[in-house]
Amino acid sequence: MSEIVTSLINGRRVAADGGHQLPVVDPASEAVTGVLREADAAEVDAAVSAARKAFDGWSNMSTDRRNDILYAIDSHLRAHGDELAELEARTTGLPIAGIRPLMDRAAENFRRFAEVASTVSGETYTQNAQFLTYTTREAKGVGALIAPWNAPLALGSMRLATCIAFGNTCVLKPSEQTPESTVRMVELMHEAGLPEGVVNIVNGRGSVTGEALTTHADIDMIGFTGGTTTGKRIMAAAGAALKPAILELGGKSAAIVAPDADLDRAIDGTLLAIYASNGQQCLGGSRILVHKSIADRFIAEFVARARKIRIGNPLDPQTEFGPLAFQGHRDHILSYIDVARREGVEVLCGGERPAGLDKGWYVEPIVALAPNNRTRVCQEEIFGPFATFLIYSDLDEAIAIANDSAFGLVSYVWTRDLSTAMACSRRIRAGTIWVNTPMMRELRAPFGGYRESGVGRDGARHSADFFTEAKTTSIPLEDTAIRRLGA
Ligand code: NAD
């Protein structure tokens, strides 16, 4: 065992002694590589106090000075991109070739939201001739931020950047499954000049550390990225305490392949949309809706390509698909093979342990063909490399299937016909529609979900609105009459 992962408060890792301990397991070898020491309620309280203490200094700092620090963080994280990518690949099982660019994206989040903070401005109202009324936007306070395990740095940095760029301070809890890389990233942020207490990390299980954080009386808002069931629980707690919450949750997104699509590009795009990041992504295109006139050819080609995906050690640059993140998650995904068969879903390939990989949470990418969209594999988020095909007859039917879901995070459409693209853009109820492209993330644009995929949006203006309070000030331009009581 090499490392004990602890919390990081006021810029320093806390002592490793005592406390509840959880194993840190390498998904590629199943070896226990470290120990996570869980933060209890007292440690969460210390982290929130540190964030509260740092709030005045950070929120009152000029935006230019704060942005200098955020730009320095961007540069320093980029300079350590290889180190962070290796740590991330080892702990999550994500192939290093796929996640190396995400390390730069994680760094860029700090630059991008610093730029947004530079443009935040208020309004003036002069309609009432005797008064000048203006608005200012102020930092909201201390954020409780929670991140999932599937892309700890890409998602954790988004949570952090949207919060601290506007002058807030925070406590972030990474997932107990993948805690190491976030602690290292925040350590690097301090090396780049982040004042102590602005970002604090607490590590531990959701039911212990997470709950102590999101229900802490001295937090001002909650930023959550994770599953829908957890999101509902957090929203209920936030409601009871009257704290605003932004929730980025699960998905069961449809990819519609029209008969006029560029089928080679559609094959590439649909494969990537479901199998990138080992299939563990909220925006996975897990339901692939293909027109009946092209279905046989398209599905045969997709299965042939899925069988050829290079599975292996996440640290090998040639690997396209690594082990799933942890044993419980691997078992959860495999359980859907039986669920599928019981409902008449045909499993076309995948689900086996790949030859030659005797250790690690490896699974061959799964492709299935469902008789209809009401099956559980089409309705429930599996959150793994499980692609399910559905065959449709006309566009109205495809859009109806896409919308027949509790979720509404993203949707993909592959077509050369502008009217098909526009119909999908207008009629599909999802937060983002990607036309002829998989997963283009424009950081300035809002990102978030309809229905059970979330509440609120990340993005330039949307994050600025959520993470600041609007304040109205009115000043009379001359001595106005004041009604005199008791005169
Ligand atoms: P999860 O909900 O199990 O856990 C997410 C985080 O919440 C973890 O840090 C966990 O410890 C914490 N948590 C759990 N219970 C808690 C509680 N009661 N109080 C406070 N914190 C608690 O999700 P996961 O399995 O880590 O991540 C996968 C899910 O995240 C999928 O559903 C996926 O779609 C979703 N996700 C959404 C987005 C998005 O942007 N919409 C991005 C990535 C992942």
Average pLDDT for 219-248: 97
381 lines ligand 1 (CB under 6 A): yes
From the number of C-beta atoms within 10 Å of its C-beta (0-12, 13-18, 19+), residue 317 rates as exposed
Q: What is the pLDDT of residues 429-475, one digit of tens each?
A: 999 999 999 988 899 999 999 999 999 999 999 999 999 999 999 99
Cα dist from 43 to 23, 40, 243, 379, whole Å: 20, 5, 21, 39
The residue among 113, 8, 40 whose CA lies nearest residue 71 is 113
207 lines ligand 1 (CB under 6 A): yes
Percentage of the chain exceeding pLDDT 90: 98
**176 is an active site residue:** no
Helix boundaries (H) for 343-459: 376-379, 395-403, 418-427
291 lines ligand 1 (CB under 6 A): no
| Residue 387 and residue 405 share a domain | yes
Q: What average pLDDT does the chain have? A: 97
214 lines ligand 1 (CB under 6 A): yes
d(C-alpha 315, C-alpha 439), whole Å: 23
Per the model's pLDDT, the better-predicted residue between 16 and 83 turns out to be 83
Position 18 confidence tier, pLDDT thresholds 50, 70, 90: confident
Residue 19 confidence (pLDDT) above 90: no
Average pLDDT for 416-437: 98
Ligand 1 centroid from CA 200, angstroms: 19
| Residue 217 and residue 155 share a domain | yes
Nearest CA to ligand 1 atom 19: 211
**406 in any annotated domain:** yes
- At residue 1, the pLDDT reads 46
Position 16 confidence tier, pLDDT thresholds 50, 70, 90: confident
Which are the contacts of 472, defined by CB distance < 8 A and separation ≥ 6? 133, 134, 135
Residue with tokens 């952090």, as numbered in its chain: 160
**443 in any annotated domain:** no
157 lines ligand 1 (CB under 6 A): no
Residue 334 confidence (pLDDT) above 50: yes
| Residue 207 and residue 144 share a domain | yes
Residue 116 confidence (pLDDT) above 60: yes
| Residue 265 and residue 153 share a domain | no
- At residue 2, the pLDDT reads 63
- At residue 17, the pLDDT reads 84
| Residue 174 and residue 108 share a domain | yes
| Residue 199 and residue 278 share a domain | no
The CATH number that applies at residue 264 is: 3.40.309.10
Residue 261 confidence (pLDDT) above 50: yes
Residue 320 confidence (pLDDT) above 60: yes
d(C-alpha 354, C-alpha 385), whole Å: 14
> Tokens in use for 408?
């509404």
Ligand 1 centroid from CA 206, angstroms: 9
| Residue 244 and residue 261 share a domain | no
Q: What is the pLDDT of residues 168-205, one digit of tens each?
A: 999 999 999 999 999 999 999 999 999 999 999 999 99
Average pLDDT for 381-410: 98
Separation of CA 382 from chain center? 16
| Residue 176 and residue 61 share a domain | yes
8 Å CB contact between 480 and 130: yes
Structural domain count of the chain: 2
Ligand 1 centroid from CA 136, angstroms: 34
| Residue 364 and residue 272 share a domain | yes
| Residue 181 and residue 52 share a domain | yes
User: What are the phi and psi torsion angles at 196 (to 5°)?
Assistant: -65, 145
Q: Domain range holding 383?
A: 254-435
The residue among 34, 41, 33 whose CA lies nearest residue 16 is 34
- At residue 63, the pLDDT reads 97
Percentage of the chain exceeding pLDDT 70: 100
**115 is an active site residue:** no
